[in-house]
Amino acid sequence: MNMKPSLDELFGLRATFPDIEARSRLARLVGLDDQKSRLTKILGLLVNPASLERWAKDYHPLAISLLETVLRRPPLVVLAGDVGSGKTELAETIGDAVARQQNIDITLLPMSLSTRGEGRVGQMTQLITSAFDAAASEASRYVSNGRATGGVILLVDEADALAQSRESSQMHHEDRAGVNAFIRGIDRLATAKLPAAVIMCTNRLNALDPAVRRRAADLLYFSRPNNEQRNHVLSDRLTPLGFTPAEVKSLVKATGSRDKESGGFTFSDLTQRLIPAIVLDAYPASAVTAQRAVELAQLMQPTPAFRDSACGSSA
């Protein structure tokens, strides 16, 4: 007899917003202001369409068809791009911005990769279906008199592991059934008009099933930080240590692209590898110096760029 999986089996660390720690993490994501703003608005409308209705009443009271077009979109947003570009961190914390903008509570349900199961027949489909059941149940709690009093964000990181293209000739039947279950789950949330949205993060956009990509209300692409963005990250952390603008500029150059094939440092390369390395190199007997920081950056290799090879046809 199949046992219904527990929430701990389906999801990672669940969170409720607004949350001060999430707000702080979100603020540290520099250089992603456009993605933050756009994602906050999209998710806000998906989980709380009444806010768009109020806007239309104030500014465009006759735009009924426009309103229907915007609100008819499936509750799915895809975040795609290179590794270490901030996709997952943004997805994990954006609920705080949505909660504050819409003045409602938001629950984050991060789907665990264990949702793929162990390959037993029907297991992956059951786990994915159960995850969407749980999301729908949680979202239903936020509905009162036909209005949303809160919302749910279902986060699927490394989404290509769960929703890879069914056009691949090497795809296992169980994986294909899992993708079908995933699509049904998205359609179910849309049909029921529940205050819930799905965020999918992937390094391999072309590997996602075309039917999943077609359902995305929006696609946000993330790239490696440019000179200005790296300067912002490094200045914020190193200026308090006495680094001058010229010294920060030297470090920005050292963390840039070194050849045509490789990109420069990712956001995570800067904040999780380089800056800690600079501090630990000086600790505990000396002060951090700009010259040594540049030397460490030149010795460190940036994370290799992820090559998103095509998988099936695009749609």
Using the predicted structure, report yes or no on whether residue 245 has a pLDDT greater than 50: yes
Predicted TM-score of the model (pTM): 0.87
Strand order of the β-sheet with 218-222 is 15-17, 105-110, 150-156, 196-202, 76-81, 218-222
Q: Which two tokens stand for residue 264?
A: 């420069």
SS3 content of the chain, % helix, strand, coil (to 5): 50, 15, 35
Pick the more confident residue, 11 or 311: 11
Burial (CB < 10 A; 0-12, 13-18, 19+), residue 216, is buried
Choose the CATH number for 7-222 among 3.30.1360.120, 3.40.50.300, 3.40.50.10320, 3.40.190.290.
3.40.50.300
pLDDT digits (tens, 9 = 90+) for 149-207: 999 999 999 888 888 888 766 667 778 888 999 999 999 999 999 999 999 999 989 98
Residues 6 or more apart in contact with residue 218 via CB below 8 angstroms:
38, 42, 77, 78
pLDDT for the residue numbered 174: 76
Q: Which two tokens stand for residue 128?
A: 């994915």
Contact between 36 and 94 under an 8 Å Cβ cutoff? The reply is yes
Contact between 40 and 90 under an 8 Å Cβ cutoff? The reply is no
pLDDT for the residue numbered 136: 96
Cis peptide before 240 (omega within 30 of 0): no
Domain-wise residue ranges, the chain: 7-222, 227-299
pLDDT digits (tens, 9 = 90+) for 96-119: 999 999 999 999 999 976 655 555
pLDDT for the residue numbered 1: 44
Q: What are phi and psi of 106, to 5 degrees?
A: -125, 135
What count of residues does the chain have? 315
pLDDT for the residue numbered 72: 87
